[in-house]
Amino acid sequence: MRSLAAGPDRSLRSANTGVRAGIRWDQWRSVALPAEHGSWGLVAEPVLLGLLVAFSPVALLVGLGSFAGFLAHRPLKLAYGDHRRGRRYPRTALAELFATGFAVLAVACFGGAVALAGTGLALPLVLALPLAAAFLIYDLRPGRSWQAELAAPAAFASAVAAMALASGWSLGPALALWAAMAARSVPTVLYVRERVRLERSGALRASVALAAVGGHALALGAVLMLVQAALLPGLAVSAFALLTLRTLHGLSPARSGHTARSVGFQEIAWGLVTVLLVVVGFWGLG
């Protein structure tokens, strides 16, 4: 699984082809849509949680705006890279078109949400700006950056807090949702990076594995405190305990071998389980 900050991949190289021949549909898709399964999952989880526990028309606008902002990232980075190199391909104009369209949609959705529910819902998004800035600073550098891969999902998780505020939640529980989604995503990035490397090389880096396990342990402790403060349901503890056990098993010799693709799909499933357990808890069933 690769995060929002993932570096060049086969789909991006495909978009570089056909400079003289033009852009085919499969190349349009590679310009407009992120190819990494992990980034889709970590972005969808906060929006899904917000829709299931704090649904309202305004929250839906916030969720759509957040997703549009996520979609704007790939074409924007592609167009920026072309301009930085002083080159212009058929895909450059297409990337600019998609980036502009997604950005306009995001601004329209957030503007409509603020018009309907007030500026208070934007507080989590404002608080997430330093994380978003860190992501952009490191993401625009050549290659992959662990700083960007950690900052991006933590920043995007603020969407669930904005959605909750848009639906009339108080600030404390709304920020608790953000904390839960950040606690899910940040240590997961560490785990998946090391799990994929382990599957490819067969060698485990003890320091990174310890950081992944420790990150999940800290996340579990934080969620437990939020549950004790009555800001999250008790089933959230079960969800994060399962994630910790997944990490311990996934980095152990007892694990089953998997490709990077299958690890990514597994994480989508783990994310869905986490969200559903938290949702069931909020619905008063756990």
pLDDT the model gives residue 123: 97
pLDDT the model gives residue 25: 59
pLDDT the model gives residue 56: 97
DSSP 235: H
pLDDT the model gives residue 89: 86
pLDDT the model gives residue 254: 92
pLDDT the model gives residue 26: 64
Q: Among residues 246, 39, 59, which one has the least CA distance to residue 168?
A: 59
Q: Report helix, strand or coil for 158.
A: helix
Asked whether the whole model's pTM tops 0.75, one would answer yes
Domain boundaries, the chain: 10-285
DSSP string, 1-66: ---TT----HHHHHHHS-TTT---HHHHHHHHS---HHHHHHHHHHHHHHHHHS--HHHHHHHHHH
- Pairwise CA distance, residues 202 & 13, whole Å: 28
pLDDT the model gives residue 38: 67
Q: Report helix, strand or coil for 129.
A: helix
- Pairwise CA distance, residues 22 & 224, whole Å: 54
- Pairwise CA distance, residues 174 & 120, whole Å: 12
Q: Please identify every stretch of the chain with a pLDDT value under 50, giving residue numbers as ranges.
A: 1-21, 286
pLDDT the model gives residue 22: 55
